[in-house]
């Protein structure tokens, strides 16, 4: 595989990982009730835990996507071809 094609694979993979991370936020917005409802029901602690997990997983996905972009651009020594 040539260097240019290999770079494309890294960048496409980074886009897929970023989309999965943002998809988690979209699912959270679609499936988790608003904070006001959680406060009314007395489940605000669970609401905070759920959004903390969603935020951390999105942060991890964006970090991995950033690494994949850096690898595609040849900034990571172990991934240079």
Measured CA to CA, the distance from residue 61 to residue 25 in angstroms comes to: 11
In this predicted model, what pLDDT tens digit does every residue of 6-58 receive, in sequence order?
A: 889 999 999 999 999 999 999 999 999 999 999 999 999 999 999 999 999 99
Q: Which two tokens stand for residue 14?
A: 């980074």
Lowest pLDDT segment from 30-34, 69-73, 75-79: 75-79
The answer as to whether 65 is a domain residue is yes
The answer as to whether 24 is a domain residue is yes
Q: Which domain holds residue 56?
A: 3-73
In this predicted structure, the answer to whether residue 1 has a pLDDT above a threshold of 60 is no
How far are the Cα atoms of 31, 50, 73 from residue 70, in angstroms, in the given order?
33, 30, 5
Measured CA to CA, the distance from residue 5 to residue 44 in angstroms comes to: 48
Total residues belonging to the chain: 81
Among residues 32, 57, 61, the alpha carbon closest in space to that of 47 is found at: 32
The answer as to whether 80 is a domain residue is no
């Amino acid at each position: 595989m040539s260097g240019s094609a290999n770079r494309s694979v890294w960048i496409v993979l980074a886009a897929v990982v970023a989309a999965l991370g943002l998809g988690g936020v979209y699912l959270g917005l679609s499936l988790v009730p608003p904070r006001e409802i959680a406060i009314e029901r007395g489940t605000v602690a669970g609401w905070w835990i759920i959004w903390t997990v969603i935020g951390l997983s999105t942060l991890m996905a964006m970090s991995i996507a950033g690494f994949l972009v850096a690898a595609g651009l040849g900034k990571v020594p172990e991934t240079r071809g």
